[in-house]
Amino acid sequence: SVFESDYRGIRTSQRVFVPIGEDAELWDVTVTNTGDAARDLSLFGYVEFSFHTVSIDNQNFQMSLYAAGSSCADGIIEYDFYYEPWTYHHFLAVDQPEGFDCRRDDFIGLGRTEANPIAVEQGRCSGSAGTTGNHCGALHHKVTLAPGESQRLTYILGYGDRAVGQRRRAKYAAPGAVDAAIAELAQHWRAKQARLRVATPSQDFDTLINTWTLYQMETCVVWSRFASFVEVGGRTGLGYRDTAQDTIGASLANPAKVNQRMRELLHGQMAAGYGLHLFDPLLFAENQHPDIPVGVKLPTVVPGGAADQLHGLEDACSDDHLWVVGAVVEYVKETGDLGFLREVIPFADEGEATVYEHLKRAVDFTDAHVGAHGIAQGLRADWNDCLNLGGGETALVTFLHVWAARLLAETAVALGETADAAAYTAMANRVAAVAERELWDGAWYLRGFTKDGVKIGSAASPEGQIFLEHMGWAVLSGVASRDHGLAAMDAVHDKLASPYGLHLCAPSFTTVDDSIGYVTRVYPGVKENGAIFSHPNAWPVIAEAILGRGERAMEYYDALAPARGNDAIERRRTEPYVYAQFLYGRDHEWYGRAENPWLTGTAGWMYQAATKYVLGVRPGFGGLTVDPCVPGEWTGFTLTRRWRDAVYHIEVRNPSGVSAGVAQATVDGTPATLTTDPLTGRTSVLLTATTGEHEVVVDLG
Ligand code: NOJ
C-alpha cells in the first residue's frame, strides 16, 4: 500500500510492505520539497504497540500494562513483555535518529491525541523509555531539503529483539536493498498471476480475476480468520468450513500454503469424522512456536485450554468436514500430487489415518447422521450459521454429501480403489434419489425440516419461503433433474435477485422461531436474514453455467462484482475491489450497503465460478477440461493457464453467438477429439498434456 500526501509544499509517499521471508514491515518513505525555498523538516516515524492477546488484555489489563517494557539503544527501539521474553518487537530506521520516545504518553502529551502530539509540536522527542505502561516507537529525523530535493528513509517494524533488528537494518541499509525487496515482492505476485491470465470482453471481470479476486482469495487462506478488523482477534483459529473452502481455488497459485492448511484441517478432524469448528492449529504439538519454552505458565489464567477445543457432537456443524473433501480433491487435481492422499495424519482426538481415509470418514459421518426423512441432520448449524436445526434436517448438507461422495468415488478411481469407487458412487446415487424425493417442493427445493418435521423454505412457509444457499448445490451436486434444476434456478431469479446480488432468503423472518434458528432473531435484511449474502452468490453462477445459461451466470457475477461498486461508492461504502461478507437486503433501509470486506469465502468461490465454469477451464485427475458457458454476445476470450508443468494458451471464439458447447477445437494445430456429456449432450475438450507449451483454439457453436 502506498500512502501519499501533498501539504504546503511538501510531498510525501509512504510505501508499506512485508518483504518476502521477513517477519517485518518496511516503510519506504520519500519526502520531497515541491516549493521554491529550502525547508528544514522534522520527521517522526510513529507506531503504537499493542499489548498481549485480546483475551488477556480484556480480562487482566493491569497485568498487560505492568509486563510491558521498552528501551532504545543503538537507534533501535525494543519492546517486550517481561514475562514472555519471546515476544520482542523492534522499531528502527535505517538512518540513525536524532531522538526517540518509547512511552506513548510522553510522545503525545497529557490531554492530547495523535492529532497534536507534544513531541511534534515542540520538534523534539524526550528520550522516554522504561518498564510498565503504554509504549510506542517514535523516531525523530531532521531533514533539510533544497527546492525540488527528495530524501528517502526506511523504517522497519519487526518481530524479534534488538539483535534481529540490527541484522535487518544492515540488510536494508545496503544500496538497492529496499528496491530489490519491492521488486522481489512484485515478482512473487506476478508469478501467481501468470498461472492464469484472462482477456475477456469485460474489463471488470479481467481486473478482478487477474488481480483482485486472486489476491483476496489468497489473503483469506493466509489470514484465515486470525487477523481481521471485524473479528478483533479474540476468536482466533481456523474456521473449519471457511478455511477449507478458501483453499479450493487457491491451490492454483499457492499450493504450499494450501497443503499446510489442509494438513491442519485434517489434523483438526475428530476420528468420528466431523471437524473442530473453530480451532487453533497451535493445539497440536508440531505447530507450536519454536521460541516458546515448553512448560512456561503465564500469570494470567485464561480459561479454555487445548483440551477445550475438542468438542462433541453438540457443537459439531453438519457441513464442516465435507468441504475438506472438495479442498483435498481439487488440490490433487491441480497439482497431480496423488501421494498426498496416502500420507498419514493424526485425528484431533485419537488415532491417525491416511488423507484418503480421513476423507472417507468425513463422507461416512454424514451418511450415518441423517434424520427422519433420510436428509442430513442439521446439528448445530450448516453453512448457514443461523440455521440451528438441532434434530432437524438440512437440504444443503445432503447436496454437499452427494457432491463429496462423487468426488471421493472419482478419487478412488484415480487411486485404483475400485471397491470404494463403486461404493461411493452407489452412496451418491442413493442419497440423490432420497433428496429428489423428499426435498422437491413443487417449484424449488426445500431448505430442510425442523426437528418436528415442519418444512423450511417451502412455498407454504409463512416466512423464509425460499433460501438461496442450497439451490445452486442441487445442480452442482448433480442431484437435480434438468427440469427441476431450471425451475429452481428460475425461482431464485424471480424471488431473490436484485441489482446488487441475490438475497439469502425471502421473505425475511420477523417472527422468532427457535426451531429454525438464530436467523429468526436477526433484523430483517441483515446478514443471514434476507441480506444479499455474498458467499452463496457464487453457487448460482456455477449452477447457471452448468445449465448452459451464460447470460444468467454473468448477470449474477456482475451484480455482485465489487468493481461495479466503483461508481456507486456512496451506496456501497466499501472498497470496490474486494468482496464483502454481505450487502444489506431490500428489507433494510441501507439496501445495497456492503459490510465486512476481505474475509469471506466469496473470493475463492467467485474465482472458481468465473474461471472453472464461466470460462470453463477446470482441472481433473487426468486433464484440463475446456467447457465455457458465456453470454451469447461475447465474441470470444483468451486465457493462459498453467496446469502442472504445462502452459496452455487458449483462444475461445464464438462466431455464432452461443453460450456453451464446443463445435470444434485444435491443439497445436491438430483437430482435437471432443467429449460429449451423456446427460446434456454438451461438448467440451479435454487437454491432457502435463508438460510443454500448447496453443489451443476452441470454436463454440
Ligand atoms: C460467516 C462464517 O464465517 C461462515 O462460516 C458462514 O458460512 C457464514 N457466516 C454464513 O452463516
What pLDDT digit, counting tens, does each position of 324-365 carry? 999 999 999 999 999 999 999 999 999 999 999 999 999 999
Taking the centre of ligand 1 as the mean of its atom positions, its distance from the CA of residue 383, in whole angstroms, is 6
Torsion of CA 256, 262, 267, 269, to 10 degrees: 180
For residue 239, report the distance from its CA to the centre of ligand 1, in Å.
9
Q: Which atom of ligand 1 is nearest to the CA of 386?
A: 11
Ligand 1: nearest atom to the Cα of 242: 5
Q: How far apart are CA 239 and CA 652, in angstroms?
A: 38
At 687 the pLDDT is 98
Short-list 604, 580, 534, CA closest to 218:
604
Q: Facing residues of 43 across strands?
A: 141
For residue 255, give every residue at least 6 positions away whose Cβ sits within 8 Å of its Cβ, in sequence order, or none: 331, 334, 335, 337
Residues in the chain: 701
Per-residue burial over 369-408, b if 16 or more Cβ lie within 10 Å, else e, is bbbebebbbbbbbbbbbbbbbeebbbbbbbbbbbbbbbbb
Q: Percentage of the chain with pLDDT > 70?
A: 96
Q: Is the pLDDT of residue 225 over 80?
A: no
The residue whose C-alpha atom lies closest to atom 5 belonging to ligand 1 is 242
Q: Can you give the pLDDT at residue 291?
A: 64
User: Which among 209, 198, 279, 208 has a CA at the least distance from the CA of 239?
Assistant: 279
Residue 183 has pLDDT above 60, yes or no: yes
The contacts of residue 343 (CB under 8 Å, 6+ apart) are 354, 355
C-alpha 241 – ligand 1 centre gap (Å): 8
Q: Global pTM? A: 0.96
- Whether 602 and 537 have beta carbons less than 8 Å apart is answered as yes
Query: From the centroid of its chain, how far is CA 391?
Result: 31
SS (H, E, C) 454-518: CEECCCCCCCCCEECCCHHHHHHCCCCCHHHHHHHHHHHHHHHCCCCCCCCEECCCCCCCCCCCH
| 293: confidence class by pLDDT, cuts 50, 70, 90 | low
What is the distance in A from the centroid of ligand 1 to the CA of 582?
11
Cα distance between residue 94 and residue 76, in whole Å: 9
Residue to probe by mutation, ligand 1, list 527, 535, 537, most atoms within 8 Å of CB: 535
pLDDT reading at 312 higher than 70: yes
pLDDT > 90 fraction of the chain, expressed in percent and rounded: 89
Cα-Cα-Cα-Cα dihedral sign, residues 471, 474, 480, 485? positive
- What mean pLDDT value characterizes the chain? 95
Atom of ligand 1 nearest to the CA of 381: 11
Ligand 1 centroid from CA 533, angstroms:
10
* pLDDT the model gives residue 573: 96
Place of cell 497459485: 253
Q: What is the CA radius of gyration of the chain?
A: 28
Instruction: Give the model's pLDDT for residue 51.
Output: 83
Which of 220, 231, 238, 242 has most ligand 1 atoms within 8 Å of its beta carbon, as the pocket-test mutant?
242
- In this structure, the residue with its CA closest to atom 1 of ligand 1 is 385
In this prediction, residue 50 carries a pLDDT of 87
Spacing, Cα 673 to ligand 1 middle (Å): 43
Give pLDDT tens digits for 359-405. 999 999 999 999 999 999 999 999 999 999 989 999 999 999 999 99
- Which residue type does 112 have? R
Residue closest by Cα to atom 3 of ligand 1: 242
pLDDT at 4 over 90: yes
Testing ligand 1's pocket by substitution, the residue of 324, 383, 533, 539 carrying the most ligand atoms inside 8 A of its CB is 383
| pLDDT, average across residues 505-510 | 98
Mean pLDDT of 192-214: 98
Nearest CA to ligand 1 atom 9: 385
Mean pLDDT of 38-52: 94
Residues 28, 29, 34, 38: is their CA dihedral positive or negative? Answer: negative
Note whether 610 and 625 are within 8 A (CB).
no
Q: What is the DSSP letter of 188?
A: H
Q: 434: helix, coil or strand?
A: helix
Strand partners, 665: 698
Stronger pLDDT, 82 or 699, i.e. the higher one: 699
Reply yes or no on whether the pLDDT at 298 is more than 90.
no
CA of 200 to the centre of ligand 1 (A): 32
Distance from the CA of 601 to the center of ligand 1, in angstroms?
Answer: 8
Q: Which residues are catalytic?
A: 385
Identify whether 507 is preceded by a cis peptide bond (ω within 30 of 0). Answer: yes
Ligand 1 atom with minimal separation from the 385 CA:
11
Residue 10: all three cell numbers together = 511538501
Cα 538 to Cα 607: distance, rounded to the nearest angstrom: 9
Q: Which atom of ligand 1 is nearest to the CA of 383?
A: 7
Phi/psi at 58 (5° precision): -80, -25
pLDDT of residue 279: 87
Q: pLDDT of 615-649, one tens digit each?
A: 999 999 999 999 999 999 999 999 999 999 999 99
Task: Encode pLDDT of 401-429 as tens digits.
Answer: 999 999 999 999 999 999 999 999 999 99
Query: Residue whose CA is closest, atom 7 of ligand 1?
Result: 383
The pLDDT of residue 493:
98
What's the mean pLDDT in 637-666? 98
Q: How far is the CA of 527 from the centre of ligand 1 (A)?
A: 10
Check residue 31 and give left, alpha or beta (phi > 0: left; psi -120 to 50: alpha): beta
Measured distance CA(250)–CA(331) in Å, rounded: 9
Q: Which of 220, 277, 385 to mutate to test the pocket of ligand 1 (most atoms within 8 A of CB)?
A: 385
Reply yes or no on whether the pLDDT at 226 is more than 80: no
- What residues line ligand 1, using a CB cutoff of 6 Å? 239, 241-242, 383-386, 528
- The answer, yes or no, to whether residue 304 has pLDDT greater than 70, is no
pLDDT at 305 over 60: no
pLDDT value at residue 55: 76
More confident residue, 505 or 301: 505
What's the confidence (pLDDT) of residue 301? 61
CA-533 nearest atom, ligand 1? 10
Q: What is the pLDDT of residues 18-28, one digit of tens each?
A: 999 999 999 99
Q: Tell me the C-alpha distance between 261 and 233, whole Å.
A: 19
Residue 447 pLDDT > 60, yes or no?
yes
Residue nearest to atom 10 of ligand 1 (CA): 384
Separation CA 574–CA 633 (nearest Å): 31
- CB-based contact 363:322 (threshold 8 Å): yes
pLDDT of 171: 98
